[in-house]
Every structure is written in structure tokens, then in C-alpha cells.
Structure 1
Amino acid sequence: MNRWRFAFSRRWFGYLAVAIVFAIVCVLLSNWQLARRAEKTHEISLVTDNYDARPVAVDALLPDLDAFDPADEWRPVVLEGTYLTDDEVLVRNRPRGGQPGFEQLVPFRTTDGSVFVVDRGWLPTGNEQDLPDVVPAAPSGTVTVTVRLRPGEPTVAGRGAGEGQIATIHLPELAERIGEPTYTGAYGLLVDESPAPAETRPAAAQRPVADEGAHLSYAFQWLIFGILGFVFLGYAIRQEYRALNADDPEEQERAEKRERRRREKRTDADVEDELIDASR
């Protein structure tokens, strides 16, 4: 036991404390990765359950202007009314496939007089200006539209936008601009319009890819790192024990056994390499 007394010194207790703190950090990071995975799997389940559901009337899912159940995200709803083209805006900083672009938002006044914000799709930035080359006009007159529900976005501090543009899809801000009773719980990604527009519509929103990422493997990796901290600590203690007791007969005998085992495991290639090194 006296040979191991060094391992109970203040120095080694300090190393142990570092290993414990490192392990705790690794566990916290592992839990964080598991939480991220849970968020991803929840998002995937929403798309799987809701994306191709049968469309229903908007007031069936949004009974009030500020109502929205996150479980209804991606659910298709049907609205009838007219587009308020004078109040349409472009949402800045919407890259797609590595290309910068905008989203076209057009308020839609339903037959009951309330306004619902419709995202008609994506438009690429022009080649010669920081705007789309063409902004397709929404259909005029009475239109029936089908959209998929999406929650509004928060504001981003310090991010501005020019005339006729908006930095984020912050529905209360849009409602203030429109100046009419407006749905602020959710907006809609356009699926189709009837009658169809005279011009080609913006690029439709893409179906989200069902990919939960590598969060689970990262979580296991962090746990392994936490365990390896203690393994390394044990290895360091063992190495110092061997150094302090190199003259001990029992330790010398164990060292000779280790060397014999190492030599027995050598391959012919190892022997040849040693002979070549010795001849240089």
C-alpha cells in the first residue's frame, strides 16, 4: 500500500477533481445533444403527420387571430378571399440552395374580413441589384388558396430592411403595417391558388428533409470522452507508479514479463524493420 501513497497526494486529488469536472461537462454536452435530437425528431414527426393531411378551413385550426397550436404546424388550410397586393412585402436574407433571395409575402383578406399573411414562395436576388428581377403578381379577384401553417418569427435586433421589405416574418409588425384585423398566430406557405395566376408564381416552399442529424452519435462520443478522462488518469497513475518503483524486484519482474509478451507479439515484418534500423 505504501507504494501507492503518492496517488493520495494533493496533486493527484487535483487531477481527479479535473477529471470529474471534465466528466460532468461531457455529460451536460451529451444531454444537450440528446435534447437537440429530441427537437429534430419532433419536427420530423410533425412533417410526417401533418404535411399531407387533408386541408381544412382556416378557422378550424385558428379560431382566434392570435391562436396557434404548435402541433398544427404544416397542416394545410383553405382560405377564400382576395389578395391585398398593395400591402405585399419581401422578406430579406432567404438563401436557397446556396443562392440569396427573398420570400414574397402577400396579405390575404378572407371573406369574413380578417387578413391572413400568405408566403407565395421564394424569389432569387437579381444579377444587378439587391432585389428580385421579377416579382410575380398575385391573382386578382376572388381566389381560393391552400396554405400550410407556420408559426411567426421573432424580431432580430439590429437587422433592418428597406422600403417594401421586412427582416423577419414577425406577424405583429405586419399586422401593424396592414392596419386591419390580421392573424398573428401563424402565416401560411402557399400550396396552390385557384384560379391560377397569370404569371409564373415564385418557387414553392420545399418539403423539409427528414434528417435528425448526428446528435445521437455526438451524445455517445461525449460520454466516451468523459470515461476516457478517468482512463487517462488511471494510466498516468500507473506510469508514475512504475517510475517510482522501477528498482523494486516485483516491478522489475512484471516489466520483464511485459517485454517478453511484446516480443512474442512481434511479426516477421517488425523483426526486419528492427534489423534494418540497426544497420543504418
Structure 2
Amino acid sequence: MLKTALKPRWIAGLVFAIVVSGVFVLLSQWQFGRSTQPEVTVATTTEEPKPLTTVLRPGEFFPGSVADQVVTATGSYDPQKQVLVPGRLNDGATGYWIVSALAVKDAPVLTGAAASPQTWIPVARGWVADPADAAAPPSGTIELTGRLLPSEAPLTGTDAGPGRASAVSVAELINIWEISSYPGFVAAGTELAGGSDVSAAASGGETKPLNVGPQPPAEKVNWLNLFYAAEWVVFAGFALFIWWRLVKDDYRRGLEDALDEEHETAAQRLPEPDPHEPHPSEPKVQS
């Protein structure tokens, strides 16, 4: 069969089948890439700073529509309300986030037995590799600009230790600081005090800025595109199968033709019967 497959026409057929299969594989990859698409496009409006007090209200659920929104707020930090959150990466290195509580000016004040006289919001101000490098928050009135993010889930059954928290979890932080808080936190971008930038980006010390960008939207799977991707792979294999089947049929036809030629040659070698000789099935007549 190899001799048949090496015929020029079948070599050309194999090249054509490989080209067709390659096109089908590319179509399969294209369909597979389209099978996972973001549920929603990243909203460019989130990059336009908006006042925190107009975007989010304390004491309510965090709406997903305001996640990643760049917000502004004016307030002051309490140096006694600061924790370190371990297990945070920065350029491949593991360290800590510095999270401080900001008393938000003109924020609605909650009522109730556990409510505090002021409303606060946790602010992730920067990253440090060594806890000893974590400096106190800047004093005075701070004009904050940063990205609003939903509260993280606390790590249950984990004791982070004094001055630390397991996550940037509002539920955990309000118990540590005993405050009323917004249902989210801010990843700081800039912090201005008296017109001067006092953020981690401007300090130039061991504290590194977070530079938190908009989070990628969740992706959904398009099962129809996945089916098409698998279908193109089947077509690619089918093209090669068709070539193999045609070569096999040609090989069989060659065997049948050779066998017919042998029969014809054998028939030509048999002597022609003498017309005067009786047929073997007929009895001989005695004279």
C-alpha cells in the first residue's frame, strides 16, 4: 500500500488534505477563542472620578455597578486605625498591604447602638515587603483619589495577629476598629495634604503604590462555539481519512487488476481442445 501512496497523484492529494486540515484547525482555534467572551465590556466611565458620597452609601449593600469606579473623598486618617494584610503580591514579591481607616467628610452618619459618630472607609494605601517599613498614615486633611472595590471575604478560622487582618474585609475591620463603615474599600491612587502629594507613589520610600487597575469582567462560555471548534477538528481528521480511504481503494483496485491479469494469462496458457477428441464426460466409442 505504501507504493500506492507514493504515487505522484496521491502525494499531491496528501498535500491538499494537509492544507485543508490546517485550515480546519485554524477555524477550530478561532471558534474556541470566541467561546469565552467577557459578559460585559469594561466601562470607560469608571475612570472618571466621582465623589464617594454620591456613588456609595454606608449601611447598604455594595452594588456591582460601582465596582472599579474611581472616586474622590476628603477626610482624615486615624493612626490608631491601621492594619497590615499579608499575602499580597507586588512584582512577584509577597508582602503586605497597608490599610488605614479614613473618616469621610460629609458622609452620612449611621444610627444604632454600634454606630460610630463618624463614617469611615478602609483605604489600601500601599505595599511593603517588611512590616517594620509600614509608616503611619499622613496627618491632616487628606484629599483622596482611588479605585472603589467591594469588600473581600475574611479568612475564617485564621488569626492574623495583632495589627493585622486576614483580608480587606469590611466585616472584619469594623470589629477591629469599632467603627461604622462604607460597604467597600478604596485602593489609593493619590493622597493630597495641603496641595502636596503624600501618597506611596510620591514618598519614594519602602512603601510601594498599589496601582490597581480596572478588574477584568467575568467571562461566559459559549457552548455553541465550543461545539463548532470540536466540529472543525473532526473535519480536519475527516479530510485525512478521505485521502487514506481513496489510497486504499486504489490499492485494492490494483490488486484486483493484477489478479484478473493472472487469470487471463493462465487461461491463455491452457491448450485448446482437439475437436476430434471426445469430451472427457462423453464415453469413447469402440470400433
Question: What is the TM-score with the length of structure 2 in the denominator?
Answer: 0.57
Q: Give 1:77's aligned residue.
A: 71
> Aligned-pair distance for 1:157?
6.1
Q: Give 1:115's aligned residue.
A: 120
How many residues align structurally? Answer: 208
The 1:235/1:34 distance shift into structure 2, 3 A limit, reads closer
1:70 is matched by which residue type in structure 2? G
Cα distance in structure 1, aligned partners of 2:50 and 2:151: 20
Q: Give 1:9's aligned residue.
A: none
2:187 is matched by which residue type in structure 1? L
The 1:34/1:85 distance shift into structure 2, 3 A limit, reads farther
Q: Give 2:235's aligned residue.
A: 230
Bigger Rg, which one: 2
* 2:136 partner SS: coil
Cα distance in structure 2, aligned partners of 1:237 and 1:157: 60
> Aligned-pair distance for 1:105?
0.4
Moved over 4 A (4+): 156-160, 196-199, 209-212, 219-225, 249-252
> Aligned-pair distance for 1:110?
2.6
Cα distance in structure 1, aligned partners of 2:69 and 2:136: 25
Flag structure 2 segments of 5+ consecutive residues without an equivalent. Answer: 1-27, 110-117, 258-287
* Residue 80 of structure 2 corresponds to residue 86 of structure 1: yes
The 1:110/1:246 distance shift into structure 2, 3 A limit, reads same
What are the within-5 Å matches in structure 2 for residues 166-185 of structure 1? 166-184=165-183
> Aligned-pair distance for 1:66?
3.0
Q: Could you say what the CA RMSD is over the residues aligned between the two structures, in angstroms?
A: 4.1
Asked if structure 2 preserves the Cα contact closer than 8 Å seen for 1:145 and 1:194, the reply is no
Flag structure 1 segments of 5+ consecutive residues without an equivalent. Answer: 1-25, 253-280
1:30 is matched by which residue type in structure 2? F
Cα distance in structure 2, aligned partners of 1:198 and 1:187: 16
2:87 is matched by which residue type in structure 1? N
* 1:93 partner SS: strand
User: Which of 236, 246, 253 in structure 2 is aligned with 1:248?
Assistant: 253
Q: Give 2:210's aligned residue.
A: 205
* 2:208 partner SS: coil
Q: Give 1:260's aligned residue.
A: none
Structure with greater proportional strand content:
2
1:220-249: CA deviation from partner (whole Å, max 9, x where unpaired): 899555412233145336535643673325
Cα distance in structure 1, aligned partners of 2:169 and 2:239: 55
Structure with greater proportional helix content:
1
Q: Give 1:151's aligned residue.
A: 150
Asked if structure 1 preserves the Cα contact closer than 8 Å seen for 2:147 and 2:212, the reply is no
Asked if structure 2 preserves the Cα contact closer than 8 Å seen for 1:61 and 1:68, the reply is no
Q: Give 2:32's aligned residue.
A: 30
